[in-house]
Structure 1
Amino acid sequence: MLVPFAHCDKVKAMTETASRLRMLIVEDSEDDALLLLRELRKGGIDPYSELVDSEERLCLALRENKWDILITDHNMPGFSSFRVLELVREYSADLPVIIVSGTIGEGVAVTAMKSGAQDYIMKDNLSRLIPAINREVREGSIRRAKRVAETTLEYMAYHDSLTDLVNRREFERRLMRALEDTHNGDGDHVLLYLDLDQFKIINDTCGHIAGDHLLKQIAALLSEQIRSDDTLARLGGDEFGILLHGCDGYYARRVAEKLCQEASEFRFVWQNKPFSVSLSIGMVLIEKHYDNASELLSHADLACYAAKDRGRNNVQLYQSNDADMQQRQNDMHWTSRIQQALQSDSFCLWKQDMVALQPNDTDGYRTEFLVRLKEGDDVIPPGAFIPAAERFSLMTKIDRKVIELAFRYLDQTGLGREETGTFFINLSGSSFNEPELFLYICELADTHRLKPERVCFEITETSAIANLNVTQQFINTAKKRGFKFALDDFGAGMSSFSYLKALPVDYLKVDGGFVRNLLTDPIDLGIVDACNRIGHAAGLKTVAEFVENEEVKKRLVELGLDCAQGYGISKPCPLD
């Protein structure tokens, strides 16, 4: 049916199924349009059609409807097929166009084809019309599908598939553009770095599906709180970034604090269980001294973690003179070096020997393994990298490496199969929380054919008390296998005595801070004496740390301590 433009609303209401060919006809002669439709019906095509005869009506038809094909005359009053082609490229680039005209010449037809027409047909010879329509509708569908696929791929390249937000790659590009604006003096911008505080708990407790739902809901919540010209992105995991365009630090802080408030009032419900969440936000003013987006994001990340360290659910502005941020920046630098060292086997062991102080000692040779990091010709002591490893949860990996190196040494030297001797290996508190560590230790001991009685694991008093139940379980299980345990830095907390009964250890290593000054400080002397007496009352052997001279050693002998360790006894040295 031919639909004059004046009646299009009525016809739209009567439109048949969507599978019917939808044809837009651009023609100033309704008779010619009817002849064209009659030819189509004779060939078995009965399209839904609309007739337009002006540029204005053509624009409206292209905007309001989707068409399968457009048939146009070439010459109309003040309106030619070239203008039709221009408008099609503007509104519907994949729509195939066939020119059907009685006056078009060969040269004009060639020009029209170069301008985007798919075919041209003379009105006095319509035999090619139906094959041309079938061909171009089919190829037009292919072009549309290809364009949709390309558009989808391009969209996916710049957006997060879960939340539909801008992804990290695109966010960094926009961040760099904002930095260029700042360098050119074209406005102030602020970067916010957001971390969802409770995400891991919910993700681990309820599963990844729940975690994904939470992230999508938080993304929607954050989107509602920022302006349309600001940029919200998911940077990875539970981390988001916001680029606030054209604003100062005062406004940015108000926005960040509002985001914290909205998140804290939000309740995530999963399987009828409500969960509270909160945000930690790091804020960076985008200023001229920054050179790239990576530096901005790094400082925003530091500020975000500072917000976490200071209680979570708050906003922290990055300040280069902040001691905590400087320390965290140093720690983050160390994490990459530690990871590299673990991959390249750059950790090595040193040892520091102990001596027996009492003549009736029969336990033989004692030494403590000490971890070092080798970088070229440099040997780096643990004090440089252990704080970073503890802060970024890398100590368990380092502990495993130390155990591996120590057991290999005890195997190669045969010391691990002797009838006497004790070799001390430090374990961090976090390692006691790893369920698989004990199995790893046992398998490695079996592999190297070691006697467990030759190995004594050390844990600091503060770590043991902080995870008392876990520590008890680990020690009890390992002692059944034959391993020994020492409580290191004993006495430092002075809550030690009340916990000692709960920890079935074999050695007490008295904190060196008391040992060092026991000749001049009566309080330190009293503490060392008390630790020794309590240790012996519990049936344990006592070791004094930080023994730096012969006079201190003699006093320790008089007090009755069993062993001594320190620079006055033996300095740390590489393993043979």
Structure 2
Amino acid sequence: MKKGGFSVEHGWADSAASLSQTLPTNTWDLVITDHNMMGFSSSDALKIVKEFDEGIPVIIVSGAIGEEVAAEAMRLGVHDYIMKDNLTRLIPAIRRELKQNENRQARLRAEAHIDYLFSYDSLTGLTNRQEFEKRLHVLVRASKNPPRQHVLMFLDLDQFKIINDTCGHIAGDELLVQTTHLLKRHIRNQDTLARLGGDEFGIILEDCPQEHALKLAERIRSEVKEHRFVWGDKPFAVSVSIGMVKIDQHTKNHHELLSCADLACYAAKDKGRNGITWYSEDDAELHQRRDEMQWASRIKQAVEENRFTLYFQPMRPLSSAYSHSPHGEFLLRLKQDGRLVAPGAFIPAAERYNLMPLIDGWVVNNAFRYLAESGLGNAREGVYFINLSGTTLSDKHFFEQIQDWLKFYHIIPQRVCFEITETAAIANLINAVDFIAETREKGFKFALDDFGVGLSSFSYLKTIPVDYLKIDGSFVKNLLADPIDEGIVEACNRIGHAAGLKTIAEFVEDDPTTHALARIGVDFAQGYGIATPAPLQEYRRKR
């Protein structure tokens, strides 16, 4: 072997006992064994080697071994056999086996690494979400008989995105590693700490009463708050929001458990962050948030499955000056389980989870398509209203989408009037003014919806460039019965006309109200007393 170029370190064994003693003394690359020794055969040696380390190659070197015996040895795991009168084969055989063993070890290391990644987070070394959910599932089943109580804790770092965005992902990763070390100090051997993704951590506290779990959560919250994360000589204040839920014999499954803990965590964030919320079935606020979370997933699915549908509600001109110009508004409905759902059921959830640009995009795209196919988008007259949310005004890419759809559908922009609520416009004033100005430059019109709710904001009309004022329906409904409401409607109409805007009254429900609005001088009326919303197909047939 030395002549063959190997640097050899070897051990010698001539019995089962001496082989068992020699194997643990080193990290062996290869075992070469005779076939027949006094009271100790190659099959005995092979069995001992395989029990010690199945990956060590074994080569038999024998003076006399039959073909059948050699074949049986190979079947049992011998890698090669060489006759003593043909030792020139030994060196090539050793090289081959060492190379193959190296490849086997590399494959085993790769498989072990894959197995590790399958269960552990590569950055923090903590259990990952998949393994965490697996353990949670086992614990939920085991908690039923005999009854046991555990606690699930869901943690979310409050300032992680700021640090990630301002200092980069390396800083964010370092914060996660430091947080991991901090959390490890607070858990017992039987507990499970995991990184669930991004800046989210989970802890399973086994056999833990609620009182102890809450004290532990408070210690964690306090220590994270006191921790000062420094990056590039710049210190950052860090805090954590924690949601908690008990695990007992009444727990249905681990999916519901995670949902409840997640819900409680986000409730803690809503209350100002750096807090702890314990999930309770009787908490009305948490139930509302759960409904919103469920709606959030339904909304995404509805967009993917094209289950939204457009309705249309015509407006009536109250002055002969506008009788030649049809006006109307596109309204949104959602098809859910064979019924139509009004926007009031899902818009709050869409706003909370920043899904309004997704919904508004669907509405604008489909409204433009209808205007193009019906010919209304290229008619000489007419204005058709499309609602936009306040969050959409902050989406920098939405204006570009509108321009793309305008080119694609070849409609006249003057036929479209986007409308936003007064409160949304004021809340997003800078973004709203920029968005409206850019959009109006292209020829689109704008309306301010629900006008009059915030009377102190009348001065904003000098800042927000719009074409229409839609007087809030809460004043219009009681116009005939309440002199104050009548005065507010008159004031809104007068201010709108003074600003050079057309006015629209909402929630008009009967003819007497319509006549009163015409007397006041309002330009258009909209409501169930004028026309009920109908599917676009019906409106097209009536035209």
Deviation at 1:250, TM superposition (A): 2.0
Tell me the amino acid that sits aligned with residue 535 of structure 1: G
Aligned residue runs from structure 1 range 476-495, under 5 A: 476-495=437-456
Q: Residue 335 in 1 paired to residue 291 in 2?
A: no
CA distance 1:560–1:51, change in 2 (3 Å)? same
CA contact (8 A) 1:197 1:312 kept: yes
CA distance 1:399–1:139, change in 2 (3 Å)? closer
User: 1:564, 1:57 → 2: CA distance?
Assistant: 103
Aligned residue runs from structure 1 range 185-200, under 5 A: 185=146, 187-200=148-161
User: 2:425, 2:154 → 1: CA distance?
Assistant: 35
Q: Residue 317 in 1 paired to residue 295 in 2?
A: no
Larger CA deviation: 284-293 vs 72-81: 72-81
Aligned residue runs from structure 1 range 56-67, under 5 A: 65-67=26-28
Q: Residue 265 in 1 paired to residue 226 in 2?
A: yes
Q: Residue 148 in 1 paired to residue 109 in 2?
A: yes
Decide which structure has the larger Cα Rg and report it: 1
Larger CA deviation: 304-313 vs 156-165: 156-165
Other structure's SS at 1:183 match: coil
Indicate which of 492, 497, 504 corresponds to 1:536. 497
Deviation at 1:57, TM superposition (A): 9.4
User: 2:260, 2:524 → 1: CA distance?
Assistant: 48
CA contact (8 A) 1:62 1:92 kept: no
Deviation at 1:209, TM superposition (A): 4.0
Q: Deviations over 1:10-61 (max 9, x none)?
A: xxxxxxxxxxxxxxxxxxxxxxxxxxxxxx5576655234568999998887
**Which residue matches 1:254?**
215
User: 2:487, 2:297 → 1: CA distance?
Assistant: 44
CA contact (8 A) 1:363 1:422 kept: no
User: 1:499, 1:488 → 2: CA distance?
Assistant: 13
Indicate which of 350, 356, 361 corresponds to 1:395. 356
**Which residue matches 2:342?**
381
Question: RMSD between aligned alpha carbons?
Answer: 3.6
**Which residue matches 1:404?**
365
User: 1:429, 1:284 → 2: CA distance?
Assistant: 35
CA distance 1:400–1:254, change in 2 (3 Å)? same
**Which residue matches 1:68?**
29
CA distance 1:61–1:386, change in 2 (3 Å)? farther
CA distance 1:248–1:360, change in 2 (3 Å)? same
User: 1:122, 1:348 → 2: CA distance?
Assistant: 83
Deviation at 1:188, TM superposition (A): 2.7
Question: Any unmatched runs of 5+ in structure 1?
Answer: 1-39
User: 2:449, 2:128 → 1: CA distance?
Assistant: 48
Indicate which of 122, 127, 143 corresponds to 1:161. 122
Deviation at 1:243, TM superposition (A): 1.6
CA contact (8 A) 2:12 2:22 kept: no
Larger CA deviation: 126-135 vs 433-442: 126-135
Other structure's SS at 1:393 match: coil
CA distance 1:531–1:299, change in 2 (3 Å)? same
User: 2:345, 2:416 → 1: CA distance?
Assistant: 26
Q: Residue 368 in 1 paired to residue 325 in 2?
A: no
**Which residue matches 1:235?**
196
CA distance 1:181–1:56, change in 2 (3 Å)? farther
Deviation at 1:435, TM superposition (A): 1.3
Deviation at 1:336, TM superposition (A): 2.6
Larger CA deviation: 104-113 vs 553-562: 104-113
Deviation at 1:64, TM superposition (A): 6.9
User: 1:351, 1:321 → 2: CA distance?
Assistant: 40
Q: Residue 48 in 1 paired to residue 13 in 2?
A: no
Deviation at 1:467, TM superposition (A): 0.7
Larger CA deviation: 545-554 vs 48-57: 48-57
CA contact (8 A) 2:147 2:248 kept: no
CA distance 1:92–1:189, change in 2 (3 Å)? farther
Q: Deviations over 1:349-408 (max 9, x none)?
A: 111122222344466211111011234642221112212211221111111111112112
Q: Deviations over 1:444-471 (max 9, x none)?
A: 2233232222211110111111110110
**Which residue matches 2:428?**
467
Q: Residue 569 in 1 paired to residue 521 in 2?
A: no
**Which residue matches 2:56?**
95
Other structure's SS at 1:526 match: helix
User: 1:105, 1:436 → 2: CA distance?
Assistant: 80
**Which residue matches 2:308?**
347
Tell me the amino acid that sits aligned with residue 545 of structure 1: E
Deviation at 1:121, TM superposition (A): 9.2
Deviation at 1:424, TM superposition (A): 1.0
**Which residue matches 2:133?**
172
User: 1:496, 1:287 → 2: CA distance?
Assistant: 53
CA distance 1:115–1:519, change in 2 (3 Å)? same
Indicate which of 487, 503, 512 corresponds to 2:464. 503
**Which residue matches 2:317?**
356
Other structure's SS at 2:294 match: helix
Tell me the amino acid that sits aligned with residue 182 of structure 2: L
Deviation at 1:433, TM superposition (A): 0.8
CA distance 1:134–1:443, change in 2 (3 Å)? closer
Q: Residue 428 in 1 paired to residue 407 in 2?
A: no
Indicate which of 386, 402, 405 corresponds to 1:441. 402
Larger CA deviation: 231-240 vs 170-179: 231-240
Q: Deviations over 1:223-242 (max 9, x none)?
A: 33322332222222322222
CA contact (8 A) 1:353 1:366 kept: yes
Aligned length: 537
CA contact (8 A) 1:490 1:496 kept: no
Other structure's SS at 1:234 match: strand
CA distance 1:61–1:511, change in 2 (3 Å)? farther
CA distance 1:142–1:455, change in 2 (3 Å)? closer
Deviation at 1:75, TM superposition (A): 11
TM-score, normalised to structure 1, is 0.82
